[in-house]
Amino acid sequence: MSLMYPFKRLFTISTVLLFGLFLPACSKPESDSGGELVVSVRPLALIAREITGEDIPVRVLVEGADPHHYAPSVSDRAALERALLLVWLGPQMEGVLAKQAALLPAGRQMQLLDIETLEYEGASATDPHLWLRPRNAAIAAAQIAERLAQLQPQQAELFMGRARQFSSSMANLQKVLDRALYGYREVPIVVTHDAYGHFFGSAGVKTHALGDGSGGGYGAKAMLDLSQIGDGCLFGDMPANERDQQLAENLGLRYAALDLLGDQLSENADYKELIESLLSQARTCLSQVPDRNKDKSEAP
């Protein structure tokens, strides 16, 4: 008995020590490197992926639906709860999502419309479609990079470096877009809602909005004011539809649909392709409008 007791005591101590070595590993919280970056709409995913690369998965909540009225599904709510970060525009755009976002800690979500340095030149000061301007995309990307750097400090320099590179490319893209649209400043442009001011406004191209994007009908006064606007274009959202086509005909305008949410882009498309596709879609209509400046230059 006396010989066994030291052995049992030694075995017990060794077991406790061994268990103690494994206990911290089992109880250690998940690493900050886990989780997805969740975004509300696809254009924000195109911007976010410029920062995350292949290092962090990006999940889009609203696909093929109206962001204004989107409500998270059960699987979406689960994704939000475990998300590394939620990037959305704000209640001005995603009103129903706001209720779910309110349940998340402030450090795990980002409302892009809260950014004070966003540009609104030529656009409505209350319009939330900020992603349609490359310079705003660069500003949003920088904010995303800064927050991810806080959440994953071991990759901070990588995120910030990508943000700087994206900012440089967006400065060039904005110049290309503005030069391409500059010649259409005299063309009457009517849009179904305010969003497109972000796309055209930086080039000095004025748009006449029929609505604010809330889905309501077009006012009689707006229709009357635009009925004599002249040969120009009416731009509406994808997909092209008979209602907007008929509206354009009633106003004496040409018609084209713009894919502002990037629904028609390929799965691997990037943000630059979104802007280039919008420009191409706009030109299908704008290029058909007679050049007023040319007519003036040829006048005696």
pLDDT at position 300 over 70: no
For tokens 């604010």, name the residue: 212
Report the mean per-residue pLDDT for the chain. Answer: 85
- The pLDDT assigned to 293 comes to 52
Q: Counting Cβ atoms within 10 Å, is residue 156 exposed (0-12), middle (13-18) or buried (19+)? A: middle
The CATH number corresponding to 37-178 among 1.20.1250.20, 3.40.50.1980, 3.40.1360.10, 3.30.479.30 equals 3.40.50.1980
pLDDT at position 219 over 50: yes
Short-list 283, 270, 275, CA closest to 47: 270
Give every strand in the sheet of 189-191, ordered side by side: 208-209, 189-191, 233-237, 254-258
The model's pLDDT over 147-205, given as tens digits with 9 standing for 90+, comes to 999 999 999 999 999 999 999 999 999 999 999 999 999 999 999 988 999 999 999 99
The domain spans of the chain are 37-178, 183-291
pLDDT at position 99 over 60: yes
Q: How many CA atoms lie within 13 A of 298 on its CB side?
A: 5
Q: Counting Cβ atoms within 10 Å, is residue 138 exposed (0-12), middle (13-18) or buried (19+)? A: buried
Identify any residues that bridge with 235 across adjacent strands, giving them in sequence order.
191, 256
Alpha-carbon gap, residue 7 to 27, rounded angstroms: 30
pLDDT at position 52 over 80: yes
Identical fold between 37-178 and 183-291: yes
Identify the H or E element spanning 285: helix 271-286
pLDDT at position 4 over 90: no
Short-list 245, 246, 247, 281, CA closest to 263: 281
The model's pLDDT over 238-263, given as tens digits with 9 standing for 90+, comes to 999 999 999 999 999 999 999 999 99
Q: How many CA atoms lie within 13 A of 94 on its CB side?
A: 27
Fold of 183-291: Rossmann fold (3.40.50)
Alpha-carbon gap, residue 51 to 54, rounded angstroms: 9
pTM of the model: 0.83
